[in-house]
Amino acid sequence: MKRKSFLKILSAIVFGTVMATGAHAQDVTRIVVPFPAGGGTDQYLRLLSAELTKKGMQVVVENKPGASGIIAADYVARSRADGKTILMTSLSVLVSNTVTYEKLPYDPQKDLASVTQIGYQPSILVARPDAPFKNIKEMVAYAKANPGKINRGSPGASIITNLAPIAFEQRAGISTTHIPFPGDAPGLQALLGGQIDIQGTSITGPLQHIRAGKMIVLGVMDSKRLPLVPEAMTFKEQGYDIEALSWYALSVPAGTPRPIINGLNKAIHQVLNDPEFVAKARAIGIEPKGGTPEELDRYIHAESDRWVPVLRGLNLPKQ
């Protein structure tokens, strides 16, 4: 075969492969998670993605942690509005960042469109088992006797698992030293390593460490105890009336056509309503919950009405 003919054939093969690879890549849907891999939220989204893939929708999780979700939100807001790039959203991304940050590179109302809520779980406080307190009442007493000696980690400044503990501390008349991390997993690792004393979190991330006796739950911010850790008392049982749910949703870039949003909503609900998926989600401490885009919009509005006045009342310095 002549060299020129060979190169022509080789070029056609390579070009065809590139085109095929590009076409394949376009079929993949990415769910962008604003936290590092390994945390509770990441675990749930990977479970959801795996089940969506089983049902024929090719889905991968892409982690873009940092700045209380701002990096991920800005990235998705600037992405093509074709339904192929989805953002995992929460209170911080859609509500509290607008209060705790001086200026955002994205507008939650103008740059993102709702798809559906996907689940929720209560916020909790965990501690090292060698901490000089074993529950919330004992922690309050210790904090009052030892001002500033408790180092408290969180997944980010404007995330509910930081904001709810701050609101609680102001109500209880105590203060801790806040150490923010770019997600839940790094904070939990710091807790295991003894760099911090307590962490605001949800049950999914620390569950394995709690079962191994490496962490204890000081209190649950819900009206009822956690089925996975029934021995852990609620804040209410310990004299503090506070509830704070970590909720998770999915959003896409504004301008995404409604038929695409409806298609995503339908596919996701096929998973959320699957009994096997529900059992797997509950096993890691998350209660699946769906809904229409309009229902999510109304829920976000209600959460804003609830938490924005609280945030402003905390007088937190702008980031």
pTM, 2 dp? 0.82
Per CATH, is 124-238 categorized as 1.20.1250.20? no
CB-based contacts of 196, cutoff 8 Å, min separation 6:
151, 152, 153, 179, 187, 190
Answer yes or no: are the C-beta atoms of 105 and 240 closer than 8 Å: no
For residue 10, the model assigns a pLDDT of 38
Instruction: Give the distance from CA 273 to its chain's centroid.
Output: 21
Inter-axis angle of helices 275-283 and 258-272, to 10 degrees?
70
What's the pLDDT at 6? Answer: 40
pLDDT string in tens for the chain (319-residue length): 444 444 443 344 333 433 334 434 568 999 999 988 988 889 999 999 999 999 999 999 999 998 889 999 999 999 999 999 999 999 999 999 999 898 999 999 999 999 999 999 999 999 999 999 999 999 999 999 999 899 999 998 888 999 999 999 999 999 999 999 988 999 999 999 999 999 999 999 999 999 999 999 999 999 999 999 999 999 999 999 999 999 999 999 999 999 999 999 999 999 999 999 999 999 999 999 999 999 999 999 999 998 898 888 877 777 7
What is residue 22's predicted lDDT score, i.e. its pLDDT?
A: 44
Structural domain 7-120+247-314, CATH architecture: 3-Layer(aba) Sandwich (3.40)
> If we measure between CA atoms, which residue out of 209, 186, 195, 68 comes closest to residue 126?
209
**Rounded distance between C-alpha atoms, residue 105 and residue 213, angstroms:** 42
Q: Is the dihedral of CA 288, 46, 60, 73 positive or negative?
A: positive
CB-neighbour burial class of residue 79 (10 A; exposed 0-12, middle 13-18, buried 19+): middle
Residue 25 has a pLDDT of: 53
Domain with CATH 3.40.190.10 in the chain: 124-238
Q: What is the structure's pLDDT at 26?
A: 60
- For residue 27, the model assigns a pLDDT of 87
Token pair, residue 159, equals 């995330």
139 close to 198: Cβ distance less than 8 angstroms: yes
Q: Where in the chain is the domain with CATH 3.40.190.150?
A: 7-120+247-314
